[in-house]
A = this chain, B = another copy of it.
Amino acid sequence: MTHDDADPKNAEISGAMPDGMRGLMVGFPPPAQSQVTLANWQDPPFNRWGFQHVRELIPSHPIPAGRPAPLPAGPPLGNPGVVRVDGSTATLEDVLDGTYTDAFLVLHDGQVVAERYDAGMTAGTRHLLMSVSKSILGCAVGVLVGRGLLDLQAPVTDYVPEVGGSGYAGATIRDLLDMRTGVAFRETYTALDAEVRVMERSMGWRPAQPGDPAGTYPYLATLGNGGPHGGEFSYRSADTDMLGWACERVSGVRVADLISALIWQPIGAERDAEITCDPLGTAIPDGGISATARDLARFGQMLVDDGVAQGRVVVPAGWLDDVRQPEPGVREAFASTDNEYVLPGGWYRSQFWVIPGAGGPVLVCLGIHGQLVYADRAARTVVVKMSSWPDAQNATYLLDTLQSCAAVATHLSARETAPRTR
């Protein structure tokens, strides 16, 4: 394995603090005002350091890599123009500069055509993926379904009877995958009393408070019901952790090792990824994976290659076809919600966001604070962006980023069809 921070030329010690993180965790020990802690790591400015150092704040499982697949360089992307969501014109780099970009990488036809890092990141640095993690688990579910270990139509209580008294009673694996359970769970990051906050404390992402359930699985069993299963799409991180529980139960293998065996090694990742775990040792697939930009790009490449990597099927092709062309009702379950205002014409399927692209549906993996994989099969383009937005959600940043991704795909597609001139 080789990676930048192991290069002999970097082997000399150096105390320089990277740009973008000046003042954070400086000194031995750092003074109180510059400390990044379990209490503040998700808040600005601390998140800029925190998202690259999650394992230093929270216990974690490794997700072992295997033999690295090549990631060859291609002709540089350049700096295409972008029309921002407010109608103003900009360049790709303008958008990246203005949206707290820690890492940015573009693959075209499997070749790296753009790669840049900021805030101290290198090609070897793992960055928190937040809910991009969900799409990775979703692919592992696809493999388990393909092997007959999970039945999409079965109620989750067939696998995890412990939640029979919770709001999950009656919800199917399909409901979980598409976030169409009726479970009462508010994913409101700015509301201190929302369920997502209690869950974050139960899973060790924030300091525990008296009365919190200890561990994600005990927490899931406490959730109530807020409506029928199979209805509208409503984004619930808890549904992904519930999926993870079912995966562990049917395979007998921990989520970290499942992802390693079914996804991370097959795609040819070059560095071990990692995933935070709770006080019971349970990994957190709803948002706890950290990985390098290059390995996340390999994941994206597998998505545009119909589930194949290194000449072998990783995720059954039919699984991704279904994401791009789901059964009736999936689009409607999305169109009827506020999500339609942000991602018009989109849907959510099997832990992926899907949006219309110039050449067909584009798979998008999204995580709060600006984490993204944009996998455009028609344009044979993968865009990875890792960020440290000050806020969990920011529609302008998101939409300008998606505009940029579309511009990149268009630029790359136009370039290859243009006549070659000297």
Q: Which residues of A contact B (CB under 8 A)?
A: 1-3, 5-8, 10-15, 25, 28-30, 35-38, 53, 55-62, 64-68, 124, 215, 217-218, 245, 248-249, 251-254, 257-258, 260-262, 265-266, 270, 272, 277, 279-282
Contacts and interface: CB of A to CB of B under 8 A. Distances in A.
Contacts of A25: 281
17 contacts: A1-B65, A6-B64, A6-B65, A11-B261, A12-B261, A14-B253, A15-B251, A28-B217, A28-B245, A28-B282, A29-B217, A30-B280, A38-B279, A55-B61, A56-B60, A59-B59, A60-B60
Nearest to A126: B62
Contacts of A61: 55-56
A11 B66 contact: yes
Given A28-B254, A55-B62, A272-B272, 13 more contacts: A3-B64, A7-B66, A11-B265, A13-B253, A13-B258, A28-B217, A28-B248, A29-B218, A30-B280, A35-B281, A56-B61, A59-B59, A60-B60
A286 to B, nearest CB: 16
B64 A124 contact: yes
B8 A265 contact: yes
Top 5 closest pairs, chain A to chain B, by CB: A15-B252, A1-B1, A6-B66, A28-B248, A29-B280
B8 A66 contact: yes
Nearest to A15: B252
Nearest to A14: B253
Contacts of A281: 25, 29-30, 35-36, 53, 56
A245 B27 CA distance: 10
A25 B277 CA distance: 13
A28 B12 CA distance: 44
Contacts of A37: 279
A248 B164 CA distance: 53
A261 B359 CA distance: 48
Contact of A58 (B10, B59, B257): B59
Nearest to A1: B1
Nearest to A247: B28
A205 to B, nearest CB: 12
A201 B29 CA distance: 17
A8 B64 CA distance: 12
A215 B253 CA distance: 35
Given A12-B261, A257-B13, A29 B59 contact: no
A67 B1 CA distance: 7
A300 B61 CA distance: 28
A6 B124 CA distance: 18
A316 to B, nearest CB: 16
Contacts of A262: 13
A118 to B, nearest CB: 19
Contacts of A67: 2, 6, 8
Nearest to A277: B56
A253 B59 contact: no
A153 to B, nearest CB: 22
A280 B38 CA distance: 10
Nearest to A28: B248
A281 B3 CA distance: 24
A70 to B, nearest CB: 15
Contacts of A30: 280-281
A53 B281 CA distance: 10
A26 to B, nearest CB: 9
Contacts of A1: 1, 65, 68, 270
Contact of A266 (B11, B15, B254): B11
A104 to B, nearest CB: 23
A41 to B, nearest CB: 11
A184 to B, nearest CB: 22
Nearest to A147: B13
Nearest to A264: B6
B60 A55 contact: yes
A168 B248 CA distance: 50
